[in-house]
Amino acid sequence: MTASLIADVDDVLSTTRAVRRRLDLDRRVPDDVIEQCVELARQAPIAKNVEQCRFVAVRDPELRAGLAALYRRAGNEIVLPRMAAAAREAGKAAKPTAQQRRNMASAMHLTEQLDAVPLLVLAGTIAPPPDEVVGPDASEFYGSVLPTVWSFQLALRSRGLGSSLTSMHLHFADEVAALLDLPDAFTQIALLPVAYTVGTDFRPAERTLPLDAVLHFDRWATTS
């Protein structure tokens, strides 16, 4: 590996952010760019070496408007009321950080703009859902999709496009399935608004914990 390759990879890894406010809503996303990014994403790890992740790239304006309406409904009717209730319960002790407040404002902005985003990409799996929410089956189920989704986002970033991983639409998964004629065997996991970005300079996110709170060597309590 050359130093410049390492620097480029580090840059893509640290600056692939959830892009919501800086999506170019007027520029079409060519199919072949999405094809390249999905082809690359398929190199991500998959359990038992079985390819079960599937993408549906929604370009049609009417379908995008339908998805956006469901996303907005989920935000207004379910996510926002739950967040307000959680905030009331937690009181001042759980005051959101500046970064969390920025994220929330940006998430709300996306909710309002979603139908204008030129491409909405739904990702999911045809693997049977696990019986339990933790354990090896659950790990394989989600773990065979989310690394692929992240690789897709990295490939988009290196080509000047932005995206964000969202899941709010899952509150209305049945309605989304009906809208897009999804088969019963398909479980939706994420929805990614995709567009070229306005400018390509993005900064790493703030991570406030010290590294030794996140990384342990040998045993949990050992810090160095």
- Interacting residue ranges for ligand FMN, rule: CB under 6 A: 17-18, 103, 107, 110, 164-168, 205
What is the nearest approach in angstroms of ligand FMN to the Cβ of residue 217?
26
What residues are paired with 166 via a beta bridge? 191
- Nearest approach in angstroms of CB 32 to ligand FMN is 25
Q: Which is nearer to ligand FMN, 34 or 168 (CB)?
A: 168
Minimum distance of ligand FMN from residue 92's CB (angstroms): 23
DSSP 106-144: HHHHHHHHGGGSSEEEEEEE-SPPPSSSSSHHHHHHHHT
Smallest separation, CB 76 to ligand FMN (Å): 13
CA 24 and chain centroid, separation: 18
52 in the Ramachandran plot: left (φ > 0), alpha (ψ -120 to 50) or beta?
A: alpha
- Measured from the CB of residue 189, what is the shortest distance to ligand FMN in angstroms? 8
Task: Please identify, using beta-carbon distances, which residue of 52 and 164 lies nearer to ligand FMN.
Answer: 164
The residue (of 139 and 167) whose beta carbon lies closer to ligand FMN is 167
Q: Tokens representing 168? A: 């709010």
10 vs 31 by CB, closer to ligand FMN: 10
- Whether residue 25 contacts residue 113, with contact meaning beta carbons closer than 8 Å, is answered with yes
Query: Using CA atoms, how far apart are residues 189 and 168, in angstroms rounded to an integer?
Result: 10
Instruction: Look up residue 93 and give its two tokens.
Output: 């002790």
Minimum distance between the CB of residue 18 and ligand FMN, rounded to whole angstroms? 4
Measured torsion, CA atoms of residues 172, 177, 180, 183, in degrees rounded to the nearest 10: 170
- Token pair belonging to 205: 């996110």
